[in-house]
Amino acid sequence: MSDEVDVKGRGSSTSPSFPATGPGPLPASGAAAASEAPLLSVRDLRMWFPITSGIILERHVGDVRAVDGVSFDILRGETLGLVGESGCGKSTTGRAILRLYRPTGGSVIFDGVEMTRLEDQSLRRMRRRMQMIFQDPYASLDPRMTVGGIVGEPLAIHGIGSNRERRERVAELLDVVGLNPNFLNRYPHEFSGGQRQRIGVARALAVNPELIVADEPVSALDVSIQAQIINLLEKLQDEFHLTYLFIAHDLSVVRHVSDWIAVMYLGGIVELVRSRELYERPLHPYSVALLSAVPIPDPVVESRRRRIILTGDVPSPADPPSGCRFHTRCWLRSQLGSPDRCVAERPGLRALDGSHQVACHFAEDVDGSAEQVQVTGHPAGLRRTTES
Ligand SMILES: Nc1ncnc2c1ncn2[C@@H]1O[C@H](COP(=O)(O)OP(=O)(O)OP(=O)(O)O)[C@@H](O)[C@H]1O
Ligand code: SF4
Ligand SMILES: [Mg+2]
């Protein structure tokens, strides 16, 4: 029996053409009903890259554990922000979900279909429903191709529409992302960084995807342009009921776009929580440290804040620390007198107070701590809740 279940709705694999204008009738914008099955469900995802040695006889001597046990869900129409320092495995997670890599283990279920086992035609059909926006709009657009060629390429790859229909569709997409449809025959170097990222967004939208993995889509842009692209992505989400995995390395970027935030450290998720809750009550020592670098727009509160500087380098994913991967840099562990449990046992995500999930044996001690109060600017605290 095939792994694939019925591919429903827009972007149907059986449809040889795309809808003329946009993705057709959609529910009103906003989050999916709580009872609805997630559009994307990731469980214990692992992506290890083998390390080999020897020139003639290659020997497998280890693995770079870029992603090592990642789990989360995203409901249709919602955004999950995936945040963490450089090298923690964010892009690899996105790429493994889109099956640009074959995962080492775990499960990626997209609209009921197990993606990790798909091959050839079934994989191509499903890939059409998920697209990626890349970080660097300078490097990700082929300088030898016209804008028409770049944006229309996914349509050509999937054999969608005639040449004339594709050109019409590209002009329509340029209009949707706020570019002049007459720019079809221009080349990427004729555009600014922000305009290039709009071209990247148009390309991602070409085949009417449902899920978009936006891999640091504004990191390479000037701050003034970042807001424009984020606003565009939000507008498109409402208009086309898109679901986003939004990758960023700093918490200030994802704050306003995300419904949920997953904080990642060295191949694993350490905190998974509703966006607003994270900024009000971070419960993982690493999240607290990340948040301490995000300014608060209240000068009085901001003047009292102190940045938590993590000591030591980020360990290598080829040789991750035992137990809790954060134990070599954890300020809480130092305060607690270096308990052995942090070194001996890797903490899994556990729910504290409803849907707030944290991977720390001692997360209760973060709550109401001086560090938490300092970075949030107000005393929250699990002990003191629960708010209405
Ligand atoms: N193809 C590969 N082969 C071997 N190692 C890889 C490969 N791709 C990524 N890695 C390693 O996996 C780890 C995670 O990389 P990844 O690019 O996913 O991090 P990231 O969180 O996206 O970082 P950044 O914020 O810098 O983009 C890094 O140590 C990286 O060197
Ligand atoms: S389990 Fe221990 S080392 Fe890990 S975050 Fe919690 S206190 Fe720190
Ligand atoms: Mg990356």
Examine residue 285 and state whether it is found in any structural domain, yes or no.
Answer: yes
Q: Is 128 found in the same domain as 237?
A: yes
Q: Is 237 found in the same domain as 333?
A: no
Q: Give the position, in ligand 2's atom list, of the atom nearest the Cα of 342.
A: 2
pLDDT at 263: 98
Tokens coding 353? 């107070």
Domain span at 342: 281-376
Examine residue 22 and state whether it is found in any structural domain, yes or no.
Answer: no
Tokens coding 50? 């083998």
For atom 7 of ligand 2, the residue with the nearest CA is: 333
Q: Is 223 found in the same domain as 343?
A: no
Final residue in a domain of this structure, among 262, 291, 318: 262
For atom 18 of ligand 1, the residue with the nearest CA is: 89
Nearby residues of 76 by Cβ (< 8 Å), 6 or more positions away: 32, 36, 38, 39, 210, 241, 243
Examine residue 366 and state whether it is found in any structural domain, yes or no.
Answer: yes
User: What tens digit of pLDDT does each residue of 192-247 get?
Assistant: 999 999 999 999 999 999 999 999 999 988 888 999 999 999 999 999 999 999 99
Contact 382, 283 (CB under 8 A): yes
Ligand nearest to the CA of 48: 1
pLDDT at 1: 35
Taking residues 41-50, what's their average pLDDT? 97
The answer on pLDDT for 308 being more than 50 is yes
Residues framing ligand 1 (Cβ under 6 A): 49, 64, 66, 84, 86-92, 249, 317
**Domain at 106, CATH number:** 3.40.50.300
Q: Is 149 found in the same domain as 244?
A: yes
Q: How far apart are CA 131 and CA 203, in angstroms?
A: 9
Q: Is 217 found in the same domain as 128?
A: yes
Q: Is the CB of residue 347 below 6 angstroms from any atom belonging to ligand 2?
A: yes
Place of tokens 């109060």: 373
Examine residue 7 and state whether it is found in any structural domain, yes or no.
Answer: no
245-249, 305-309, 329-333, 341-345: the lowest-pLDDT one: 305-309
Q: Give the position, in ligand 2's atom list, of the atom nearest the Cα of 339.
A: 2
Q: Output the CA angle 12-13-15, nearest 5 degrees.
A: 70
Q: Give the position, in ligand 2's atom list, of the atom nearest the Cα of 270.
A: 5
User: What tens digit of pLDDT does each residue of 84-136 get?
Assistant: 999 999 999 999 999 999 999 999 999 999 999 999 999 999 999 999 999 88
Q: Is 245 found in the same domain as 189?
A: yes
For atom 6 of ligand 1, the residue with the nearest CA is: 49
Q: Is 302 found in the same domain as 220?
A: no
Q: Is 217 found in the same domain as 146?
A: yes
Q: Is 153 found in the same domain as 47?
A: yes
Examine residue 56 and state whether it is found in any structural domain, yes or no.
Answer: no
What is the count of structural domains for the chain?
Answer: 2
pTM of the model: 0.88
For atom 2 of ligand 1, the residue with the nearest CA is: 49
**Dist. CA 264 → ligand 2 center (Å):** 14
Examine residue 198 and state whether it is found in any structural domain, yes or no.
Answer: yes
**Dist. CA 65 → ligand 1 center (Å):** 9
Cβ count within 10 A of residue 290: 26
Instruction: Look up residue 210 and give its amino acid.
Output: E
